[in-house]
Amino acid sequence: MRPAAVVLVLALAVSTGGTLSACGTDDKGGAAAAPASSGPVAPPSGDPAERAAATVARFSDEELVGQVLMPYAYGNDATTVTGASSRENNAYAGVPTPAEMITRYKLGGLILVGWSADDPTAGTNKTSNVDSPEQIRKLTGGLNKVAGAGAPLLIGTDQEYGAVNRIRTGVVQLPSAMAFGAARNPAATEAAWQAAGGDLAAIGINVDFAPVADVLGPRGSGVIGSRSFGGTPADVAAQVVAATKGLTAAGVAPALKHFPGHGHTTADSHEELPALTQDRAALDRDDLPPFIAGIQAGAGMVMSGHLDVKAIDPGTPATFSSKVLVDLLRGTMGFKGVVVSDAMNMAPAKKWPPGEAAKRALLAGNDLLLMPPNLKQAQKGLLDGLKDGSLPKQRLVESATRVLTLRYRLAATAQPDASTLDTETDRAAAQAASAAAVTIFRGRCSGALVTGGVTITADGKWGQQREWLTAALAEHGVQVKSGGTTVRLIGYNDGAVTASSKDVTVAMDTPYALKTIQGTLIATYSSSQASMKALAAVLAGKAKAPGKSPVKVDGLPASAC
């Protein structure tokens, strides 16, 4: 585990000559030199907000616009990419490499993405540029080198763990948010998320688009599912606070999402505009508490959702509603940090051309526009808005200042060394949370739950989980062989399951499907290796199942134990 004092700064040399802007130009307008070394440097002096305001006052229009755009890029390296990646970058941004995207557009940040077929957000991920910690650290270092000195870029990713998990090797793997909700131990949550944040910081990622602060409604929003900590506002709020504190202590800015709450919806905002139909009292009671708690815990970002909030601004996605983002989030709730949009290449945001959508999102109160579908057009829309007065310059100055303030705040101490990645202490924190999550909905609460060995059945996509469970059972002397107790592993939307009273069914995602299944019923809420190890210990009778379901499952108790 990394001490709380360790916070992120990417290795950036601070010029002793002119005053540097965050975009790599000195106060005389010349190009800033690249950092002199890759080692730790002294933190920048002065109040971050004051420094940001003074720097932004010297920005050109292009520099202002660059601060509020956070695109993706093709390629696993800052300066060397394949021909295919070069072509895609040129189509998207008019440049061949991620490094040239940073310099041409004077960007304040970039999002790293990874594509996976079972990811509910897969449709917006047009590329994948996360492979190994070594590759990511080299990529982020290269991006910051071309950005120049003064402050680290905001380099973010969606590392929620569970269903949405970009980096799957070489860093500690936490269970899903819902597993933490079942464990009901905020202290363990904070420790695990600090461990995870330390790994992100060590590879140069200083923004995590997590934790999910959505509270699941009775229908259990499919696109959110186990990405949520649960269905009770107070319990979700406690977990959000813990994850927020953990990431922040590691030097990573958390982004609470999806404001003002995606859990009481049934539609998928990647494909259409979901409606929040509850009245304002219900919104205040059921959806906002985790966001309020996370803000009070120091979250540096809040992500606006592509959600139709009927009680506040019917028909307008929250991302494009000043009533939601200015009046509610900044006014009533007092949020002072960076409001980042959900991906601008999602269907509700593509109602308008990229340039018009970017301008509307800024006017509504967003400070950082995530993943515009076309970077060239988004930039042009904002510059044209400045020229014709439809986008007041002061609105852009406010956002650029907030973004740069966060960048300066992240430039506090040294970037963790790569040797701190995925340590035994970190893995122990993930294992403890996973073990505390295991829930028995029906079955014995002590002793072995399997006899005569085990037969594991699962959909083909769960081959890795079968291997992990097989190995973990072997450590407890339980053999996987034909004729033993059948253990069925199921994930979200795996289809109907038929089981006898002698079988064991394990939900590795939301537990809702268990309500129609016979036999022993268990939930891990997560398919991570740590969760499979925890499951094996319970099946073998070597550990209790202390978890309690954080969501209501019709006809079943929160725990049988």
Catalytic residues: 270, 342
Bridge partners, residue 518, by sequence: none
CB 61 within 8 A of CB 122: no
Phi first, then psi: give them for residue 420, nearest 5 degrees: -85, 0
What number of other Cβ atoms are within 10 A of residue 336's Cβ? 10
- SS3 per residue for 66-129: HHCEECCCCCCCCCCCCHHHHHHHHHHHCCCCHHHHHHHHCCCEEECCCCCCCCCCHHHCCCCC
Dist CA 11 CA 360 (whole Å): 35
Our CA dihedral for 216, 218, 220, 226, rounded to 10 degrees, sits at: 50
Q: What are the backbone dihedrals phi and psi of residue 403, each rounded to the nearest 5 degrees, phi first?
A: -65, -45
The rounded distance, in Å, linking the Cα atoms of 471 and 487 is: 14
3-state SS assignment for residue 332: helix
| CB of 357 closer than 8 Å to CB of 349 | yes
d(CA 443, CA 560): 7
Tokens coding 440: 């028995």
| Distance of alpha carbon 210 from alpha carbon 380, whole angstroms | 30
Task: Please give the structure tokens belonging to residue 442.
Answer: 């029906």
Residue 65 CB partners (closer than 8 Å, separation 6+): 105, 106, 379, 382, 383, 386, 396
Q: What are phi and psi of 318, to 5 degrees?
A: -55, -35
CB atoms within 10 A of CB 30: 11
User: CA neighbours within 13 Å on the CB side: how many for 371?
Assistant: 25
Instruction: Give the orientation angle of helix 133-147 with respect to helix 98-105, to 10 degrees.
Output: 30
Using an 8 Å Cβ cutoff, are 332 and 338 in contact?
A: no
Query: Peptide bond preceding 306: is omega within 30 degrees of 0, i.e. cis?
Result: no
> Strand, helix or coil at 430?
helix
Please report where in the chains the tokens 């060590």 appear, as a residue: 202
CA atoms within 13 A on the CB side of 36: 5
Count Cβ neighbours within 10 Å for each residue of 182-197 and write b for 16 or more, e otherwise: bbbbbebbbbbbbbbb
